[in-house]
Structure 1
Amino acid sequence: MLTAETKKFRFRDKSLTLGERTYIMGILNVTPDSFSDGGLYYQQKEAVNRARQMLAEGADIIDIGGMSTRPFSEPVSEEEEIKRLIPVIKEVRAENPYAIISADTYRINVAEKALRAGADIINDVSGEFKHLLAELIKDFDAGWIIMHSGGVPSGEFPIYEKGVVREVADFFDDMLEKITAFGIDKSRVCLDPGFGFAKGVEENLQLLKNLATFKKEDIALLVGVSRKRFIGAMMEEVDPTQRLEGTLAANFRAVELGADIVRVHDIAEHKRFFKAADFLLRKG
């Protein structure tokens, strides 16, 4: 049984109380090539409309990205990423002063522009500690999502000599040591095991089954399994848009094992689902 804690994930002048309930992070890809929704919200007008819809459906965080990180995708130029991302952040922030906005980027210059445009959190999928990004997090009092990405080119799978669970746990310990040594409070950090990043179906299942290994009492834990390939393998479903039930099942197990935030495409369905699931897990 999960119990409410007084620990918080802090960013700017906002925060989320850990253990209180499951928080829904909505995925907003301002890209033409993301794996399940590429092109749907590529234009600024469509992206902002989708953000409005997400907030109306109950999203706690809007995670906006301007470059696909799907397997085998080619990175776009920094200029193109800025062109896609920053106007959307600015407009969403102007309409919603109290909304929680996350910028999905690992580039320093893009992160700075996103924070200046109104982002609260940087969702960093680089899998490495960067002093310049740490300085930005510190200067802006921003939140920092730290993801394990495997340290290999997109689409490749490394050999996890110690096993994927131990490798990810060691990565988190190393990153937290560097972050705290830099003077950033752990309450501004959120950990993400990086489902689907340099990991095959078996590795992803091992991460999910052993998710409690990564749960630290005073640090937020995020999972991003929505519509991913290993969900399709579990369901025997090749169409990413038809993987809702598998995503809900995996996210329920993740929250049961300690996840605080679920990053998803289907906001309304997860909001309704976790209204009941949280009652069972946290209040029942």
Structure 2
Amino acid sequence: MYINCKGRLIDLSVPKVMGILNITPDSFYDGGRRTSLEQHLAQAEKMISEGADFIDIGSYSSRPGAEDISEEEELQRILPAVEALVKKFPDVLISIDSFRSEVAKQSIEAGAAIINDISAGNLDDKMMDTAAQLQVPYIMMHMRGNPKNMKDLNQYEDLTQEVLTYFSEKIDRARALGINDLIIDPGFGFSKNIDQNFELLSRLDLFSNLNLPILSGLSRKSLIYKTFNTTPEEALNGTTVLNTVSLMKGAHILRVHDVKEAVECVKLMERLKN
């Protein structure tokens, strides 16, 4: 299984690690920790040195109840980071975490390689057309509503089946538009409660039937730290455990805050498999 990033074929038969770089003041785990461009570059350098295959940059917080920001503000935050990262690390493969087509378009033109859309086109009806025109890999996540109201939209009769149906419909639309490289993200923590997140993880292998790469984004999320009555800061060990489960269930990409530990997960699982 391959995706084409800026003319480079990325082989996903060995799982890859996507490091999270939040350019936001209010993300649930690391919002506001790094406020300058120099700090963002230093964090990116650290993740690259630890083995990150992709850097996922987001400047709009999608945590539950997050405040909305304008498209202009999102662009003002994200474009300098993309440009600086590409300048300092010309070979880096950047993913843009945005549901806005104009933010995705300008970021790709600035040197990014992948669009990571939490809404799979639901929050901007131009997004899939933009991904098709740009011919870049497109990550589609499952979510209901938007970051402000998603936590109240978690009523399902059959969660896994409904998420699979959602992706089947999205894949059909994306293929009709001519998007070649698709990646699916079940959306852990988005419009799902803790029990539903664990249910989805336990059945993650069923998503392999869609014949597309699977991204798992569990890093330091509430299903981990609320299970232990702790905080995101204390959720690294739990993250590593669930990342391992994700790999056993067929995940191709781990999206994480802690790259070194995720890379070690992949290496150990590959040794076990081989």
Aligned-partner Cα distance in 2 for 1:253–1:97: 33
1:124 Cα deviation (Å)? 0.2
Aligned equivalent of 1:26: 19
Aligned-partner Cα distance in 1 for 2:5–2:128: 14
1:148 Cα deviation (Å)? 0.3
Q: Is residue 154–residue 191 contact of structure 2 (8 Å, CA) maintained in 1?
A: no
Q: CA RMSD in A?
A: 1.6
Residue 255 (1) aligns with residue 247 (2): yes
Residue 137 (1) aligns with residue 131 (2): yes
Q: Is residue 225–residue 251 contact of structure 1 (8 Å, CA) maintained in 2?
A: yes
Q: Secondary structure at the match of 2:29?
A: coil
Could you tell me which amino acid in structure 1 is paired with residue 252 of structure 2? Answer: D
Aligned-partner Cα distance in 2 for 1:213–1:267: 26
Aligned equivalent of 1:128: 121
Aligned-partner Cα distance in 2 for 1:31–1:140: 26
TM-score (norm 1): 0.91
Aligned ranges 1:142-181 → 2 under 5 Å: 142-151=136-145, 153-181=148-176
Q: Is residue 99–residue 118 contact of structure 2 (8 Å, CA) maintained in 1?
A: yes
Aligned-partner Cα distance in 2 for 1:144–1:157: 27
Aligned equivalent of 1:276: 268
Q: Is residue 188–residue 217 contact of structure 2 (8 Å, CA) maintained in 1?
A: yes
Aligned-partner Cα distance in 2 for 1:211–1:181: 26
Q: Is residue 143–residue 150 contact of structure 2 (8 Å, CA) maintained in 1?
A: no
Choose the corresponding residue for 1:202, options 195, 206, 221.
Answer: 195
Q: Is residue 12–residue 141 contact of structure 1 (8 Å, CA) maintained in 2?
A: no
Aligned equivalent of 2:223: 230
Aligned-partner Cα distance in 2 for 1:44–1:15: 30
After superposing the two structures, state which structure 1 stretch, 42-51 or 220-229, moved more: 42-51
Residue 242 (1) aligns with residue 234 (2): yes
After superposing the two structures, state which structure 1 stretch, 135-144 or 207-216, moved more: 135-144
Aligned-partner Cα distance in 2 for 1:154–1:58: 35
* % identical equivalent positions: 34
CA 1:196–1:161 in 2, change beyond 3 Å: closer, same or farther? closer
Could you tell me which amino acid in structure 2 is paired with residue 213 of structure 1? Answer: L
1:190 Cα deviation (Å)? 0.5
1:98 Cα deviation (Å)? 1.6
Aligned-partner Cα distance in 2 for 1:111–1:217: 25
Choose the corresponding residue for 1:102, options 90, 95, 108.
Answer: 95
1:272 Cα deviation (Å)? 2.2
Structure 2 gap ranges (5+): none
1:99 Cα deviation (Å)? 1.2
| Cα distance per residue 1:110-133 (max 9 Å; x no partner) | 111111111100100124355522
The number of residue pairs the alignment matches comes to 272
Aligned-partner Cα distance in 1 for 2:18–2:37: 20
Could you tell me which amino acid in structure 2 is paired with residue 179 of structure 1? Answer: A
Structure 1 gap ranges (5+): 1-6
Choose the corresponding residue for 2:35, options 25, 28, 42.
Answer: 42
Aligned-partner Cα distance in 1 for 2:231–2:245: 22
Aligned-partner Cα distance in 2 for 1:216–1:14: 26
Aligned-partner Cα distance in 2 for 1:228–1:90: 29
Could you tell me which amino acid in structure 2 is paired with residue 240 of structure 1? Answer: P
Q: Secondary structure at the match of 1:220?
A: coil
Aligned-partner Cα distance in 2 for 1:159–1:142: 31
1:151 Cα deviation (Å)? 2.8
Aligned equivalent of 1:61: 54
